[in-house]
């Protein structure tokens, strides 16, 4: 299988819902994608944590992928989140995603029975998924504030040597731990940052790119950090990072409701999250507006 180049910024897109019916807003979804793709991002992730994947049913995931595939040009990539609690379900979701034309899948670990998810269980799980998946597999170290488990560096080293496992998204936000992954995995295994607050530092350590929720709000700036680092312009990259870092901490740190509020303020389709998540209150939205203003993304009159 040809190695898939993951370098650059992938945007883990949100999932808009109709505020009255609660059903998918596919028109708004596709409009958001077109706006994101006006900027030099590497591609789009559908069905990640930012996309409220755990609140979607399988039919909705398929409709989102089908809608995204028509919008994404051939020079960009489409990645689908396909992690599930059973190996069987994960394999099924990988096959469904491949049928909808994705270029790779992002697979979070099963974590409900966390105490039973030792190294042997996880290696067996990912080996089976990677063998069955028609497209390359990216491991997903989910942010530790969510319901998940943490991969040991030694485990990632073993998983990285499984055929068809091509990279990892590390959303812990620790440059020390991300650096360990880069050192412990073989050449060609692609480490992606999951924290917009640590993106420049991650690239400096050898990460090839990032899957960054903050890129929903500032795709141009997020992509520019990668461009400047590749061009050897550390000062330029650092200056952009100084602007984006607080946006990650202040808005992405509020979770899906914060990102969706930011999209609404920027004239894109944010809308309400799906219950049991709730939208931000007025003070929360005002705080988001303040961070967008400080990042020069929102002009007030």
Domains of the chain: residue spans and CATH: 8-242 (3.20.20.70)
pLDDT in tens, the chain (301 residues): 458 999 999 999 999 999 999 999 999 999 999 999 999 999 999 999 999 999 999 999 999 999 999 999 999 999 999 999 999 999 999 999 999 999 999 999 999 999 999 999 999 999 999 999 999 999 999 998 998 999 999 999 999 999 999 999 999 999 999 999 999 999 999 999 999 999 999 999 999 999 999 999 999 999 999 999 999 999 999 999 999 999 999 999 999 999 999 999 999 999 999 999 999 999 999 999 999 999 999 876 5
For β-strands 137-141 and 77-81, DSSP reports them as: unpaired
State the pLDDT at residue 2.
52
Angle between the 87-99 and 119-132 helix axes, to the nearest 10 degrees? 30
The secondary structure of the chain, three-state, reads: CCCCCCCEEEEECCCCECCCCCCECHHHHHHHHHHHCCCCCCEEEECCCCCCHHHCCHHHHHHHHHHHHHHCCCCCEEEEECCCCCHHHHHHHHHHHHHCCCCEEEECCCCCCHHHCCHHHHHHHHHHHHHHCCCCEEEEECCCCCCCCCCCHHHHHHHCCCCCEEEEEECCCCHHHHHHHHHHCCCCCEEEECCHHHHHHHHHHCCCEEECHHHHCCHHHHHHHHHHHHCCCHHHHHHHHHHHHHHHHHCHHHCHHHHHHHHHHCCCCCCCCCCCCCCCCHHHHHHHHHHHHHCCCCCCC
Q: Which residues contact 27 (CB under 8 A, 6 or more apart)?
A: none
For the question of residue 169 being annotated catalytic, the response is: yes
DSSP-assigned beta bridge partners for residue 141: 170
C-alpha angle 249-269-241 in degrees, rounded to nearest 5: 30
């Amino acid at each position: 299988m040809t190695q898939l180049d993951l370098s650059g910024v992938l945007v883990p897109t949100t999932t808009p819902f109709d505020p009255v019916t609660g059903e998918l807003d596919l028109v708004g979804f596709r409009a958001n994608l077109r706006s994101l793709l006006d900027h030099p991002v590497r591609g789009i992730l559908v069905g990640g944590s930012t996309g409220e994947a755990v609140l979607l049913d399988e039919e909705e995931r398929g409709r989102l992928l089908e809608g995204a595939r028509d919008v994404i040009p051939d020079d960009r990539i489409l990645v689908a989140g396909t992690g599930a609690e059973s190996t069987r379900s994960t394999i099924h979701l990988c096959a469904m995603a491949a049928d909808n034309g994705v270029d790779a899948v992002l697979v979070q670990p099963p974590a409900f029975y966390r105490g039973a998810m030792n190294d042997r269980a996880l290696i067996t799980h990912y080996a089976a998924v990677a063998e069955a998946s028609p497209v390359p597999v990216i491991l997903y170290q989910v942010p530790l504030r969510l319901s998940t488990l943490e991969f040991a560096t030694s485990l990632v080293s073993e998983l990285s040597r499984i055929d068809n496992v091509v990279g990892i998204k590390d959303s812990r936000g620790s440059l020390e731990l991300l650096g360990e992954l880069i050192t412990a995995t073989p050449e060609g295994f692609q480490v992606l940052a999951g924290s917009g607050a640590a993106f420049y530092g991650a690239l400096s350590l050898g990460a090839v790119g990032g899957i960054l929720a903050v890129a929903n709000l500032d795709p141009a700036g997020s992509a520019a950090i990668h461009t400047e680092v590749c061009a050897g312009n550390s000062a330029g990259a650092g200056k952009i990072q100084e602007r984006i870092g607080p946006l990650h901490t202040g808005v992405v740190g509020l979770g899906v409701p914060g990102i969706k509020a930011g999209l609404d303020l920027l004239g894109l389709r944010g809308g309400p999250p799906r219950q049991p998540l709730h939208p931000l209150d007025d003070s929360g939205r005002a705080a988001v507006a303040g961070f967008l203003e400080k990042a020069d993304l929102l002009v007030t009159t």
